[in-house]
Amino acid sequence: MTDSSISPTTAPAIFDAHAGGYDDDLRRRLIPSFDDFYGAGVAALACRVHPRDRVLDLGAGTGLLSGFVAQAFPAAELVLLDGAPAMLERARGRLAGASAPVTLVVGDMADPLPEGRFDAIVSSLAIHHLDDEGKRDLFRRAYEALNPGGVFVNAEQVRAPSERLEGRYLRWHRDASLARGATEAEWEAAVERMRVDRCATVEDQLAWLSEAGFPDPDAPYRLYRLAVLVGRRPD
Ligand SMILES: C[S@@+](CC[C@H](N)C(=O)[O-])C[C@H]1O[C@@H](n2cnc3c(N)ncnc32)[C@H](O)[C@@H]1O
């Protein structure tokens, strides 16, 4: 179980305050296997997203994942939701040249999702800010908000299956980040931000996706603390 004593508004407030320093180069240093991780998230949309489809990005931040989605599916309409307005302002700049409509929504993932149905709902490194009941509830709401044939992709930081492995996974993350050029100060700042994380295991999240209605949810990508969880709504 994760700590549910932290206010759900804490994470967006932290990211809002540090939006200026949330740059892509730093993310590359702090996310081992950055290209494989985001690439697996976008690959999971293949055959599911078509021109003019609607894609919702939950906890979109500066639009890192949305940017990759826009590159792969330039005609797809994007709706970005985040609780930190300053993060979304940076997403506005990233997606300024997008050829399809882009809508920015300041909001909480715990509240009702933006109006209408979506063909894909994606998220990266954001849903772990909700407590476990919040994640389960969001998975249910995501299922309901998808059109038949739609896909839910959660590229996520996950909890290890045991406390002992959690320590090993954390050491792996630190060592891999420093090997990718992160400084000790950058790692320490990341650890400070991660204090509000409430990560869940891959196994628990697959069970919650199943419970939400997704048949055969899977994790096509997994490397220590990083995993891509996918649920497909039947046609
Ligand atoms: C680590 S950042 C990830 C941003 C982006 N998806 C990426 O991959 O770079 C987490 C984002 O989730 C947002 N967030 C956290 N909890 C949220 C909530 N309950 N509702 C909306 N956004 C939330 C934060 O404001 C932040 O922008």
Confidence band of 9 (pLDDT split at 50, 70, 90): low
Average pLDDT over residues 125-149: 97
pLDDT at res. 116:
96
Cα of 63 vs centre of ligand 1, distance in Å, is 10
pLDDT at res. 7:
41
Show the tokens assigned to 109. 């993932």
What pTM was computed for the model? 0.95
Supply φ then ψ for residue 204, to 5 degrees: -60, -45
pLDDT at res. 29:
97
Q: Which atom of ligand 1 is nearest to the CA of 14?
A: 25
- How many other CB atoms are there within 10 angstroms of residue 83's CB atom? 25
The highest-level CATH class for domain 10-232 is alpha beta
Strand locations in 88-178, DSSP E?
102-106, 118-124, 146-157
Confidence band of 4 (pLDDT split at 50, 70, 90): very low
Rg (CA), the chain: 17
Atom 9 of ligand 1: nearest residue by CA position: 64
pLDDT greater than 90 at residue 175: yes
Q: Which atom of ligand 1 is nearest to the CA of 87?
A: 27
Average pLDDT over residues 112-130: 97
Contact 206, 136 (CB under 8 A): no
Tell me which residues have their CB closer than 6 angstroms to ligand 1.
8, 11-12, 15, 27, 59-61, 64-65, 82-84, 87, 108-110, 124-126, 129-130
